[in-house]
Amino acid sequence: MKKIFLIPLLFLCFLFSCTPKSAKTTNAQTNDTLKLSYAQGFAVKYFPDYKEVIVYSPWVKGTVYARYYLVKDASVKTPSDGTKVQVPLRTLVATSVTHFEFLSLLGQVETIVGVCSPRIIYNKEINKRFAEGRIADLGDAFTINVEKTLQLKPGALMMSGYNQNDPYAQRVSQAGIPVLFNNEWMETSLLARAEWIKFVAAFYNKEKQADSIFADVDKRYNDIKAKAAGVKTKPNIMVGSNFRGTWYMPSGRNFMGKLFADAGSRYFYANDTTAGSLPLNVETVLKNFSQTDVWLNCNFNSLDELVKADSKHALFRPVQLKQVYNINKRLLPSTANDFWESAVARPDLLLSDMIAILHPEILPGYILTYVEKLK
């Protein structure tokens, strides 16, 4: 049975300002600040000789997780409270698949010289370059091969930040290679996650291009959201799968929960304010969802496979109606799934998928991108 390993939905939902809260004093005068519409985890400020990029901590409200000073000339003096990064980056090690589509949209895939777990990468260009030996395998993202990384001498290493010290990242940083913490995964909305393309773009001096790309995605998302907002009937949905006796469903504050609301659905936990995801037992799910209309994000590839995995699945109305959908349409034999990769930067396509399932009259003839109906 083919299965994908779902990225955990247990994301803490803190709100923090996009306005820099730096305690440092400097004689440099800021000229401008990068405009952000949704993302709350980073900020970019512009000074005459450098750019200041701040990553805020999602775990300790109001504090700085990392600070970078971006310079064209390495000899430029910058404040001592951050990491100096020479830009535009010429080479990069990228450790998470969630960062690849940003680089692809910005036309910077060729700068990638090292990746982690290449088996789960969907991007065709990256796979081609890896097969040609132009991209190195650096092992697992949580235990990255430091020696091999240092041999590549990349301009920077981009990784997801976590609420703990990473000894591997520390060793890379101590060797003089900037470690860039891309924390898009901690945002609480799909558009906020997608706006991190502007964070990536700052290290390539591609802010204008990123702003244009994101503006298009933002417009398409909100245009299709507006169409769904006027529907008279909202289908009741259930989400996720039973995994070893536990069923993880998104809370209403989770970015997936918000997606389902934007798609014009009724969801039992839509008003739940719990951060992240809800671990439920099968009995609770049966009680609250047995009579729903549609089952979304199911982690199986056929109805037979679904029922064989647990006979209780046959008790759910969506199974009887054959209205069950997975997120495996772009799943490779290697288990690489583009849902976890490009959908981060293209929430407009993901929302379109959901609306096409729940309200097909809104998007007649639409071909699903990430979602597939179980047969």
Distance between start and end Cα atoms, the chain: 15
User: In the chain, how many domains are there?
Assistant: 2
> Does residue 141 sit in the same domain as residue 234?
no
pLDDT category at 13 given cuts 50, 70, 90 is: very low
User: Residue 348: inside a domain, yes or no?
Assistant: yes
pLDDT score of 23 more than 70: no
Instruction: Mark whether 282 and 167 lie in a shared domain.
Output: no
Question: Is the residue at 7 inside a domain?
Answer: no
Q: Where does a domain end: 192, 217, 242?
A: 217
Does 18 reside within a domain?
no
Using the 3D structure, point to which of 195, 217, 239 is the last residue of a domain: 217
Q: How confident is the model at residue 349 (pLDDT cuts 50, 70, 90)?
A: very high
| CA atoms of 35 and 51, how far apart (whole Å) | 14
Predicted confidence at residue 7, as pLDDT, reads 38
Q: Facing residues of 69 across strands? A: 52, 84
Residue 297 falls within a domain, yes or no?
A: yes
* Cis amide leading into 20 (omega within 30): no
| Predicted pLDDT of residue 28 | 54
Instruction: Grade residue 22 by pLDDT with cuts at 50, 70 and 90.
Output: very low
pLDDT tens for 103-145 read 999 999 999 999 999 999 999 999 999 999 999 999 999 999 9
With respect to residue 196, please indicate whether it lies within any of the assigned structural domains. Answer: yes
173 and 240 assigned to the same domain? no
User: 240: domain CATH number?
Assistant: 3.40.50.1980
Residues of 296-313 as b/e, b for ≥16 C-beta within 10 angstroms? bbbbbbebebbbebeeeb
Q: Which domain holds residue 318?
A: 228-373
Mean pLDDT of 325-329: 97
Average pLDDT on 35-46 reads 97
Q: CB 234: neighbour CB atoms within 10 A?
A: 17
> 274 and 350, same structural domain?
yes
From the number of C-beta atoms within 10 Å of its C-beta (0-12, 13-18, 19+), residue 167 rates as: exposed
Predicted local confidence at residue 134, as pLDDT: 98
> Measured between alpha carbons, how far is residue 228 from residues 75, 357, 372 in Å?
53, 12, 20
Specify if 5 maps to a domain: no
Same domain, 296 and 316: yes
Question: Average per-residue pLDDT in the chain?
Answer: 91
CA–CA distance, 44 with 26 (Å, rounded to integer): 16
Q: Cβ(126)–Cβ(97) under 8 Å?
A: no
Same domain as 233, residue 193: no
Contact status, residue 99 vs residue 108, Cβ threshold 8 Å: no
pLDDT at 26 over 50: no
Mean pLDDT of 277-300: 95
Tens digit of each residue's pLDDT (9 = 90 or more) over 194-253: 999 999 999 999 999 999 999 999 999 999 999 999 999 999 999 999 888 899 999 888
Q: State whether 167 and 296 are in the same domain.
A: no
Phi, psi dihedral angles at 55 (to 5 degrees): -110, 120
What's residue 12's pLDDT?
A: 30
User: Mean pLDDT, to the nearest integer, of 313-331?
Assistant: 97
Dihedral (C-alpha) 282, 288, 291, 292: value to the nearest 10 degrees? Answer: -100
Q: Are residues 82 and 193 in the same domain?
A: yes
Percentage of the chain beyond pLDDT 90 is: 84
Look at residues 217, 249, 271 and tell me which one is the last residue of a structural domain: 217
Report the amino acid identity of residue 177. I
For residue 40, pLDDT beyond 90 = yes
Q: What is the pLDDT of residue 273?
A: 85
pLDDT of residue 14: 29
Same domain, 59 and 180: yes
Q: Supply the pLDDT for residue 17.
A: 32
Instruction: State the pLDDT at residue 237.
Output: 98
| 120 and 67 within one domain | yes
Q: Give a yes or no: residue 98 inside a domain.
A: yes
> Per-residue pLDDT for 34 more than 50?
yes
Q: Let me know if residue 10 belongs to a domain.
A: no
Q: What is the pTM of this model?
A: 0.89
- pLDDT given at position 254: 87
Would you say residue 20 has pLDDT above 70? no
- State whether 71 and 151 are in the same domain: yes
Task: Say whether both 166 and 257 belong to one domain.
Answer: no
What is the C-alpha to C-alpha distance for residues 201 and 205, in angstroms, rounded to an integer? 6
